[in-house]
Amino acid sequence: MNDVIAEFLEEEISEPYEIQPLRLLGGWTVEFNNFCECEPDNCRNFGEIFVEDLLRLTNIKFNLILDLGWYPDGDRNGAYELCLVKDYKWEKPLEVFESRDTKEIVAKIEYWTNHGFYQKYLGTC
């Protein structure tokens, strides 16, 4: 009986995952961060970790939003979707990138939050 309980608890207790480290330059504010350091193919608690609202960064000075989610929400066949939006124009993102690779997403976040990248959009509406 103890083996059955132990197996049940092992399946039901969430594995702790660390928040994904990011190197961000000044000017960006973290609105929320649920972006875990876990590759989708190696994640045990998939439905809890790979959801639509993973990360939102804002740059108030330039009215930019960087948004990361997993689509479809909780679907093992889905992918990360990273969007860069200006002036809350969600229907017309400046940039969109999709990948299942956490390292690719981290690299893209760090690149897109660099002033050298997003300055090309500062004169646009």
Give residue 48's pLDDT: 87
Across residues 3-20, what is the average pLDDT? 61
3-state secondary structure of 36: strand
Give residue 124's pLDDT: 59
Q: Which helix (H) or strand (E) holds 48?
A: helix 46-49
How far apart (Å, rounded) are the C-alpha atoms in residues 46 and 44?
6
How far apart (Å, rounded) are the C-alpha atoms in residues 103 and 114?
17
- Beta strands, E only, the chain: 29-33, 55-59, 64-71, 79-86, 95-99
Examine residue 93 and say whether the peptide bond preceding it is cis (omega within 30 degrees of 0): no
The model's pLDDT over 48-87, given as tens digits with 9 standing for 90+, comes to 899 999 999 999 999 999 999 999 999 999 999 999 999 9
User: Parallel, antiparallel, or unpaired for β 55-59 and 64-71?
Assistant: antiparallel
